Amino acid sequence: MPGSVHVTTLGPHGAPPVLFVHGSTSWGDDPHYGFAAQAPLAGRFRLLLMDRRGYGGSPDAGESFPGDYLADDDDIAELPELTPEQWLQASVGSTGSPPPEASEPRLRAAGTALRERVCWEAAIPLPALRAAAFPKLVISGTWESAPEQDRERGGVPFMACARITAERVGGRHASVPGAGHWPHVEAPETLNGLLAELWHQAA
């Protein structure tokens, strides 16, 4: 694959490293949908905010798909500071929120999202994740402040998926009140507290 992925690093060397992997139409330190609001955790942890291929400062994955979860897996495996237990993934969907400014990085991210390999083709190793000894946490918003149609068509399925995923991987599901699809942006203090608690359990 062409070039290395871009990673924004926050926090001191020697602190426990944690990788954040964004969803579509975003990038690692994007202040709208990325993980800029998790910067306060950098006092205790070393945050690695990765730009997936086709997003932010990273090159495209290739000619077939500018964004590709198979390439993401390879890129994550090659990051020297991480273990698989330290992988946090967030995703972005439609919630009726006002769109951010149509900047060049945002337009590139939107273009990649329209042409990336579809995530529902990914084979998730649920039995292996369930058997793994590290603590698992699946976080979702409660969607009560979203428009009724968005909550019904987006929020209810996302919340059900979060609960079922937590059950299947032997983890815990945490709901963040007042948040919809982006708890890390909409309620960062609550989410940051949940992450810090999880990471201390894993240490």
The three-state DSSP-derived secondary structure of 88-110 is EECCCCCCCCCCCCCCHHHHHHH
Other C-beta atoms closer than 10 Å to the C-beta of 199 total: 19
- Which tokens sit at 73? 């897996």
- The 10 Å CB-count burial string (b at 16+, else e) for 156-174 is eebbeebeebbeebebebb
198 has a pLDDT exceeding 90: yes
The pTM of the whole model exceeds 0.75 = no
Which tens digits make up the pLDDT trace of 35-82? 999 999 998 999 999 999 888 999 888 877 777 777 887 887 777 665
Instruction: DSSP letter for 25, please.
Output: T
Provide the pLDDT confidence category of residue 88 given band limits of 50, 70 and 90: very low
Average pLDDT on 4-9 reads 92
Average per-residue pLDDT in the chain? 84
